[in-house]
Structure 1
Amino acid sequence: MVTPVIGLTTYREDAAWGVWRQRADLLPTQYAAAVEATGGVPVLLPPQAQDGAAEAVVGRVDGLVVTGGADVDPARYGAEPHPRTAGWRPDRDGWEAALLDAAQAAGLPVLGVCRGMQLMAVHAGGVLDQHTPDVVAHEQHSPGGDAFGRIAVATEPGSTVAALVGERLEVRCHHHQSVRSHPGYVAAARAEDGTLEAMESPGNRFCVAVQWHPETVEDVGLLAGLVRAAAAYAAQR
């Protein structure tokens, strides 16, 4: 199998390490470790603004992970910010949207994680519920702080997600927002409270997104599926 290169989008935040405190491009190590564990080579993709950057990146990687992070800018889906919506990053929103356009044009395999799923839905013309507890009347999807919620999820029979992770599983979530509409994607998994927890593009291209964090658990079936699809993509270049 060809060893595929997997691009991972990153945060751009104020950070501290050693004697330094400054702006940094960063990502939790679990993402890169999960890609390595499933046979891929991870490459970090910090936000870029120059013309042609997304096309240049997509021309050099074999798969893309749109990672978790801050809320998507509500202006992208024509909404006023909810009181609990905060910290959106317009530079990152724009960069990831450009990457998704380039990836679609090239047929590149894509996996969205948490915020990544929300950005993918919004980029397709969808809308978010800005504070999921307002809809489901509980906070189990994001219990607060750095804790992950543990949610039971049922996958849709015949979906790519079901083929990779099975009919039912417990997942680790950390999202206070969720996808209300997702044009061009089909539902692939839901929580018991009805919250959409996964979606995917119909057809043969690997284009999957989940609200949970597959990089945080031993069973990284979704990342393994992306790496296999990326290897096939690389072999056909």
Structure 2
Amino acid sequence: MPLIGVTTYLTRARWGVAWDLPAALLPAAYPAHVQRAGGLAVMLPPDAPATAPAVVSRLDGLVLAGGEDLDPALYAARPHPRSGTPVPERDAWELALLDAALTSGTPVLGICRGMQLMNVHAGGTLCQHLPDEVGHDAHNPAPGTFADHPVKPVPGTLTATLLAGRPLDVATHHHQSVARLGTGLTASALAEDGTVEALEYQDHPSFALGVQWHPEVRDDLRLTEALVRAAAEGVRP
């Protein structure tokens, strides 16, 4: 079975009776989704960026999970008043993982923040507070909950092929989005308001795709199954 690495948060957390400590954590829906799609899931907490190539060399696929806002300095922007506090250790680690995956041809799926990271890695920029651009908060209507809205795959893209090219409702929770698309990327799904909801690489030897929504909290396994299939093709004997 393919070994799929999933990135984690680095934050303070509480558990048990009185523990309140820094923690590397991941919502259980991420590894469960990978497991249901036929992969073996392993968590990848932030580490020294220089170790990323060695880590990726032991993986068959990579999931860049959702989470905190990226540091606006990564795309030469000043922080918006609604932008979250950056986590530079996570930013640097995941950029290094993505770079190693793209260099080695390792299949990679970006989810929410992970898609935004793909865009920034490719030289693109982000809208730091989407309601300022679209005039509504339907992409993130309430803290701590997922909402659903329709997205439409772009004909002729891998995303459209995997999702049968039909509009579908997806789970959403984000207040930032792609602004200027990065070099070598194609917008492969759009929301009704024009927000980029998926992107893919124009030239990649395996599978490299990002989605702004959260497939892990719904039952549709098609994207993660595609990642696992691509990862299986490169599994070491």
Normalising by structure 1, report the TM-score.
0.96
1:25-44 to 2 correspondences below 5 Å: 25-44=24-43
> How large is the Cα RMSD of the aligned pairs?
1.1
Specify the code of the residue in structure 2 equivalent to 1:207.
A
1:226 aligned residue: 227
1:184 aligned residue: 184
Secondary structure of the corresponding residue to residue 102 of structure 1: helix
- Alpha-carbon distance, 1:220 to partner: 1.6
- Alpha-carbon distance, 1:113 to partner: 0.2
1:92 aligned residue: 90
Of 115, 128, 133, the match for 2:131 = 133
Secondary structure of the corresponding residue to residue 168 of structure 2: strand
CA distance in 1, matches of 2:184, 2:45: 27
1:172 aligns with 2:188: no
1:59 aligned residue: 57
CA distance in 1, matches of 2:150, 2:49: 42
CA distance in 2, matches of 1:56, 1:87: 29
1:1-237 to 2 correspondences below 5 Å: 3-18=1-16, 19-49=18-48, 51=50, 53-166=51-164, 167-182=166-181, 183-203=183-203, 204-234=205-235
Deviations 1:92-113 (A, max 9, x none): 0000010111111110000000
CA distance in 1, matches of 2:103, 2:199: 20
Specify the code of the residue in structure 1 equivalent to 2:211.
V
CA distance in 2, matches of 1:31, 1:164: 20
Secondary structure of the corresponding residue to residue 212 of structure 1: coil
Secondary structure of the corresponding residue to residue 197 of structure 1: strand
Specify the code of the residue in structure 2 equivalent to 1:200.
E
- Alpha-carbon distance, 1:50 to partner: 5.6
Q: Which runs of 5+ in 1 are unaligned?
A: none
CA distance in 1, matches of 2:38, 2:211: 21
Specify the code of the residue in structure 1 equivalent to 2:224.
L
- Alpha-carbon distance, 1:86 to partner: 1.1
- Alpha-carbon distance, 1:146 to partner: 1.0
CA distance in 1, matches of 2:197, 2:180: 12
CA distance in 2, matches of 1:217, 1:50: 32
Q: Quick one: structure 1 residues 50 and 211, their matched pair in 2 at CA, closer, same or farther if it must change by over 3 Å?
A: closer
Count of residue correspondences: 233
Regions of 4+ moved over 3 Å: none
Specify the code of the residue in structure 1 equivalent to 2:99.
D
Q: Quick one: structure 1 residues 127 and 9, their matched pair in 2 at CA, closer, same or farther if it must change by over 3 Å?
A: same
- Alpha-carbon distance, 1:149 to partner: 2.3
Q: Quick one: structure 1 residues 164 and 50, their matched pair in 2 at CA, closer, same or farther if it must change by over 3 Å?
A: closer
- Alpha-carbon distance, 1:13 to partner: 0.7
Deviations 1:44-64 (A, max 9, x none): 00001263x101111100000
CA distance in 1, matches of 2:147, 2:69: 18
- Alpha-carbon distance, 1:234 to partner: 1.5
CA distance in 2, matches of 1:202, 1:139: 31
Secondary structure of the corresponding residue to residue 231 of structure 2: helix
Normalising by structure 2, report the TM-score.
0.96
CA contact (8 A) 2:62 2:106 kept: yes
CA distance in 1, matches of 2:68, 2:77: 16
Deviations 1:164-201 (A, max 9, x none): 22221000110100001222110100000000000001
CA distance in 2, matches of 1:71, 1:33: 24
